[in-house]
A = this chain, B = another copy of it.
Amino acid sequence: MNYKNFPMVPRVIFGRGSFNQLNDIIAPKRLNIHAPFIFLVDDVFKNNLWLTSRIPTSYDDRIIYVSAKVEPKTSQVDELVEDIILSTKERPSGIIGIGGGTLLDLAKAVSIMLTNEGETKDYQGWDLVKNPAIYHVGIPTISGTGAEVSRTTVLTGPEKKLGINSDYTPFDQVVLDSELTKNVPTEQWFYTGMDCYIHCIESLTGTYLNTFSQSYGEMALQLCEDIFLNNNLSKIEAQEKLMMASWHGGMSIVYSQVGVAHAMSYGLSYLLGVKHGIGNCIVFDHLEEFYPEGVKTFKAMKKKHNINLPKGICSDLSDKEFDIMIKISLSLEPLWENAIGKNWKKVITPKKLKELYQKM
């Protein structure tokens, strides 16, 4: 047995308003005045002075606004890296991602690709990154993905949707300021929060689970149930708790894996560009046979918050399109093995997946 020696985020600050301390945190990391900080910021914050006026830019620092409406792509990372290289006098002092999973994953990937040659798609997989990334900071503005703490950055490439999993991927610093999540629209809040809930269910019922991941997963799950089913939390409490749920949920994956919902959702995302959070929800809603208790609770949460998931998104697909989704999904072997066990191929056939996708 060989255990993973997991890299944890080495610095974390938690607190309402801690975003105000960003300058104190990053200033000592500035290499020189020609090596700027690059802030990758979700473009929903463009013209939002409450946030942008507090981004501590100096010298040649740049803010690059990025839309999170589409899932992050390897080609997008390549373009950002090229733009940064061409526009800076020296290699940047650091990349600071401000946003949800999309922006956080972009920040991680860009920081890696600034020190590693070639194209981003070549690094999708496990432990393919050779050189340490440049200093990178993650500042979530929506909670649930666990991207702030994970060892991966999930990207859609020309051939696959797959993470860059490496010891250099995790952030060097995370700022957990729940106030930044205060204006998230309800549906987005729900879908992203459910990403956390769903990966806890997948982790806790998986075959890979050990005590380390179990304790984090149970904590995150309890927090999710508290947030999405109970009525007695203040808004601030709910925001703070969801931020911690996302953190612990991400840690739960360390010695575990996600499962059926993620494996199938990757297919939807690859073919149809369905965003990760909502994609997981669309899939999970149909997974009673794999996660009976989890799906029951999920439906209760959905009802409580009046969430109407899109229906029939696969109804007009051709056989060829189904095959593409099925191929993407089946390629995620560790997810299936975690969910079903070593003999998963006996249960999960292309036919089975097609039947499931047809329900969605």
Which one of A17-25, A112-120, A308-316 is at the interface?
Answer: A17-25
Q: Across the interface, name the chain B residue whose C-beta is closest to A211.
A: B240
Which one of A7-15, A198-206, A261-269 is at the interface?
Answer: A7-15
Q: Does A346 contact B (CB under 8 A)?
A: no
Q: Across the interface, name the chain B residue whose C-beta is closest to A248.
A: B215
Q: Mark A1-45, 1 if CB is under 8 A from B, else 0.
A: 111111111111111111001000100000000000000000000
Q: How far is the CB of A246 from chain B (nearest CB, A)?
A: 11
- The answer to whether B2 and A21 have CB atoms under 8 Å apart is yes
The docked-state distance in angstroms from the alpha carbon of A145 to that of B244 is: 23
Chain B residues contacting A237 (CB-CB under 8 Å) are 211
Q: Does A104 contact B (CB under 8 A)?
A: no
The docked-state distance in angstroms from the alpha carbon of A255 to that of B10 is: 16
The docked-state distance in angstroms from the alpha carbon of A89 to that of B7 is: 31
- The answer to whether B8 and A9 have CB atoms under 8 Å apart is yes
Given A14-B255, A212-B176, A244-B212, A8-B5 contact (CB < 8 Å): no
- The answer to whether B8 and A21 have CB atoms under 8 Å apart is no
Chain B residues contacting A283 (CB-CB under 8 Å) are none
Q: Does A87 contact B (CB under 8 A)?
A: no
Q: How far is the CB of A4 from chain B (nearest CB, A)?
A: 7
Chain B residues contacting A8 (CB-CB under 8 Å) are 8-12
- The answer to whether A7 and B10 have CB atoms under 8 Å apart is yes
Q: How many copies does the complex hold?
A: 2
Q: How far is the CB of A23 from chain B (nearest CB, A)?
A: 12
Q: Does A131 contact B (CB under 8 A)?
A: no
Q: Across the interface, name the chain B residue whose C-beta is closest to A215.
A: B244
Q: Across the interface, name the chain B residue whose C-beta is closest to A240.
A: B211
Chain B residues contacting A4 (CB-CB under 8 Å) are 13
The docked-state distance in angstroms from the alpha carbon of A25 to that of B3 is: 11
Chain B residues contacting A25 (CB-CB under 8 Å) are 5
Q: Does A241 contact B (CB under 8 A)?
A: yes
Chain B residues contacting A98 (CB-CB under 8 Å) are none
- The answer to whether B2 and A12 have CB atoms under 8 Å apart is no
- The answer to whether B211 and A244 have CB atoms under 8 Å apart is yes
- The answer to whether A14 and B10 have CB atoms under 8 Å apart is no
Q: How far is the CB of A69 from chain B (nearest CB, A)?
A: 30
The docked-state distance in angstroms from the alpha carbon of A175 to that of B27 is: 33
Q: How far is the CB of A256 from chain B (nearest CB, A)?
A: 11
Q: Mark A201-222, 1 if CB is under 8 A from B, else 0.
A: 0000000001110011011001
Give chain A's interface residues, CB within 8 Å of chain B.
1-18, 21, 25, 173, 176, 178, 210-212, 215-216, 218-219, 222-223, 237, 240-241, 243-245, 248, 255
3 smallest beta-carbon distances between A and B, as pairs: A3-B15, A211-B240, A14-B212
Q: List 18 A-B contacts (CB under 8 A).
A: A1-B16, A2-B21, A3-B13, A3-B15, A3-B21, A7-B11, A8-B12, A14-B210, A14-B212, A14-B255, A15-B212, A176-B212, A211-B241, A211-B244, A212-B244, A215-B244, A218-B219, A218-B222
